[in-house]
Amino acid sequence: MDAEVAPTTYKIIRILIIAFVAVIAYPYIPGSLSSAFKGISIFLGVLFSLGSSSAIANLIAGISLTYTRSFQEGDVIKVGESMGVVLERKLNVTR
């Protein structure tokens, strides 16, 4: 694996493992079978899914830019009328 995508891959795999563990552990949480707990869980899920659609889209765009290696640090780029030098790349931000 290329050294520049290894940290991003590590973060993605870590988040997927934590999500998998949370799904597996859900039935063992005390009170998780009550209707109130289920209602709150559904409400928070809908709230999260509606509120984070643009954030998820930006995250996926950042991942695609990282893995396609579109920009390298030190590249000179032009966006609209502005020109600049790429200083660093992260999942959500290219400075």
- Alpha-carbon span 7 to 88, nearest angstrom: 13
Mean pLDDT of 9-22: 91
Question: 3-state class of 83 per DSSP?
Answer: strand
pLDDT in tens, 18-76: 989 988 988 888 877 788 888 888 898 888 888 787 888 888 887 887 788 777 788 88
26 contacts: CB under 8 Å, gap ≥ 6: 32
- The CA–CA distances, whole Å, from 87 to 63, 72, 74, 83 equal 17, 9, 6, 13
Count CB neighbours of 89 within 10 A.
Answer: 19
Domain residue limits, the chain: 6-85
Question: What kind and span of H or E run contains 76?
Answer: strand 76-79
Output the pLDDT for position 91: 66
23/8 Cα distance (integer angstroms): 23
pLDDT (0 to 100) of residue 64? 81
Q: Per-residue pLDDT averaged across 7-16, rounded?
A: 88
